[in-house]
Every structure is written in C-alpha cells, then in structure tokens.
Amino acid sequence: MGLRQFNICACTQAPKFLVESQTKNWFTITKSCCRKFVTYRCFSGRMLPQKTCWKKCVLFFKQDVPRYIIANSGLVELRMQTVLSFLKEHENTLLKLLPLVAFAVPLLWLYLLSPASFESMWKGRTFQLFFIWLIALELILGWESLQPSKTDKPFSAKTFAFVMALLLPTVYVVISKHLGLNDAITEVSRQSGVATWNSMALSTEYLVFAVLFCTIVFLQFGKKGLKDFSVPALFLGTVGVLYTIDNVYPYGQFTPFQLLVPTTATLAASVLNLMGYQTSLTSVANMPRLTATDPANPLRTATFDIAWPCAGIESLLIFTVVALLFLKRMPLSWKAKTAYFAVGAAVTYFINVLRIVTFYPIGMDYGVNSEQVHMFHNYYGPLFSIAWIVSYPLLILGSQILWRKITNRGSNKELSPAVNNGVLSPEKTRSAQPNPA
C-alpha cells in the first residue's frame, strides 16, 4: 500500500480531511469514513471484501500517512513562506492602499443594498464615489512622498487602533443599515423638527465617513498625512455640512448661501431672453422665481424656484477641491495659480447658469414636475460642470506645454548659429581655422 493507492482509495473523503485538517486524528477520521461502504476499489481495480480492504487501509494509514502528512506540511509551509515574503516585499505599497480599501468595501456594500442612491449627485451617494476618486488621485500624485508610520511592535496599541479604524467604515454601514441606526437618526430628526428629516441619515453618513477617514490617515501617516489628504477629507466633510444645512434650512432659508442666487437667476433670465423666450423674475419666500414662456406658443411655459443648491454652490465646491488638489502640485507662481483658479471658477459658475437655462426647454416639453426634469436636476445637470471640471486640469497642462514650446522657440532663435554681436559661433570658429598641412 503506497501513496498511489491512497490517492485512489474508495474513501474519497479521506484525502480532503488529511489536507484540510492536519490537527485531527487521522485514523479515526478515515475509519469513520471507510465504514460507510461495504466494498472498496483498490489500486488493482478488483472489488475486495470489506474486511480485506479494511486491513490494507489500516496498514497503509498507520505506515505511510505520517510521511504524507509531513510532506504535505512542508509544502504548506513553503507556500506560506512565499506568501509572507510577497507581503513583506510589498508591505509599503499595501499599507498605502489601506485607506482606499477601507472605504471601497463599505461603498460597494452600500451600492449592493441601494444602487439608486448612487444615481443622484444632490442628496445621493455619487459624491462618495468622487471622494474615492480623490483618494486615488492623492495616492497617485504623492506616491513617492507618502510614507506610512512604522512601528517596531506589530501588536502595539497603535496597531490595534489602526486596524479597528480600518474596520469602522464597514462596521458603521452594518450598524446603520442592518441594526437600525439610520431609522433612529431619522426618528430623532423628525421629533426635533428638522424640515427634511428623511435626509439626515445620509448627512450623518458623510460626516462620520469624513471623521473616520481623518482618523485612519492620522494613524497611518501622522500629521503629514492629514495635510496630504486634506482635500478629500475636506470635500467629504463639506458635502455633509451642506446637506445638513439644507436639511435644517431648506428652500433657500439659509441666507448666506442664498446671496448668490439672485445674480444667477438674473444671468439665466438674460440667456433665456437671448434665446427668444419671454421671462419674468419675481421673489417668493427668499427664492427667485423665474418664469419663461415661448412667444410662438404661450402654452409652452415653465416656472422654477431657484434655491442655493442650484445656484452654483455644488459645482463650485467640486471645482475648488479639484483645483486645490491640482494647482498645489504645479510648479507655478502664486499669481499664476490665482489666475488659473479665478478663470476656472468663473467658467464653472457660467456653466451652472447654462444648466439652469436648460431646465426650461425640458420643463416646457415634459412638464415642470416630470421625471425628465427630476433626472436632469439630480444627475444629468451636474454633469455639465463635472465635464468642465475634469477637463480643466488637462487644459492647464496643455497651456503649460504650449507656453514652454513658445519660450523654447524664442530662446533657440536668440542662440541660433549666426554672428551675434560680432562673436562667431563655434561652427564659424572651427571653419575659420586653417587646416593642418
């Protein structure tokens, strides 16, 4: 009886037990498995009675199985050493990716539980995907400078706290979604008189994720990490604060943000007039009410009240985050950075004006309360500014490359191989020397 016979023994469960449960009593497991059958097929291919096969199997398992276990243990140990060496070699890379993984897992879970929440930018979770993109962008741009904090004690209190912090985003999703935390937040908000109490759970989620992200970054990279990852942390926290303000003071009741709205509504009315529509602008409950009518068909009319979330705050927030992240790493003077930021902010604001203008043809054709208007308001409309914001860094890079080419061309003309101020160029000097005889 040898290893060959062991592999084709009729008790097919025995090899699996031997490989997977090395701490078990091997003979007992094999005995309990073999006793389920009357006859067995051995390596010779002949059917043997139970007693004969039993003696042969017992002899084999007593003599050869210990050697098989030792060999198998060595193989497992070798594989474990390979895995450990790989982890050790790429330890720094894996540690840098942990903040990204810590939030990618719970967001994937949230998507599986509520995919519709990721289809809205305002009062939805699309901004959390943007937050993940910002973390990845920070890692890419600062990969060489980011160095995780090292500790000589792998089982120290700091390591334990870091591991727990990595798990907390997922734990929060479990508690909020499956253990009733979101329902509790909603009920407390309703009893406290919050106007849009049904959105407070989402606002709290943004704020909690921002705090947990700062905690993870601080434990892994220290104070320098908080500075390096300040943009995604600030972005997520700001979105949570904006959602909370709109929940407590909805429909333009928050005066500081509403100050920008009349200008936006006036510009939108001017653009609609240029398009041939007749407009009227009034004010209702601190919000501008803009009405546009088609002169060729007076029945085609649309009226919308404009609050501060539609007046450029959302798009300007995203632009500010991306611009700060990009410009702070550009080798430019502060004047150039200020100019780039000002131009980009102005274009972003004007694009948002065009976004408001687009509401009116859609409202005239489908109705102001139609599904098409809601989809444009919550998702497709913000893509106007997002498309510009994503392309603006590329425009900055393109303008810098073009400027370097222009300046290099000018410097090459000044250093051209011609007589410059009565001094011969090296080529001319060599040609003027007499050839040796």
Q: Which of 17-26, 151-160, 220-229 has the highest mean pLDDT?
A: 220-229
More confident residue, 366 or 420: 366
Q: Which of 28-37, 254-263, 297-306, 382-391 has the highest mean pLDDT?
A: 297-306
pLDDT over 90 percentage in the chain: 32
Report the pLDDT averaged over residues 171-175.
96
**pLDDT for the residue 317:** 78
- Asked whether residue 409 carries a pLDDT value surpassing 90, the answer given is no
Among 30-44, 119-133, 200-214, 271-285, which is the least confidently predicted range?
A: 30-44
Mean pLDDT of the chain: 77
**pLDDT for the residue 7:** 36
Report the pLDDT averaged over residues 369-373.
90
Q: Name the β-bridge partners of 47.
A: 41
Answer for the pair 291, 280: CB distance below 8 angstroms, yes or no: yes
- Asked whether residue 11 carries a pLDDT value surpassing 70, the answer given is no
pLDDT interval class at 292 (50, 70, 90): very high
**pLDDT for the residue 72:** 45
- Tell whether pTM > 0.85: no
Query: What sign has the CA pseudo-torsion 391, 397, 401, 403?
Result: positive
pLDDT interval class at 103 (50, 70, 90): very high
Among 28-42, 197-211, 281-295, 404-418, which is the least confidently predicted range?
A: 28-42
**pLDDT for the residue 424:** 40
**pLDDT for the residue 3:** 31
pLDDT interval class at 356 (50, 70, 90): very high
More confident residue, 325 or 134: 134
- Asked whether residue 42 carries a pLDDT value surpassing 50, the answer given is no
**pLDDT for the residue 120:** 80
**pLDDT for the residue 432:** 42
Report the pLDDT averaged over residues 387-415.
80
- Asked whether residue 312 carries a pLDDT value surpassing 50, the answer given is yes
- Asked whether residue 436 carries a pLDDT value surpassing 70, the answer given is no
- Asked whether residue 68 carries a pLDDT value surpassing 60, the answer given is no
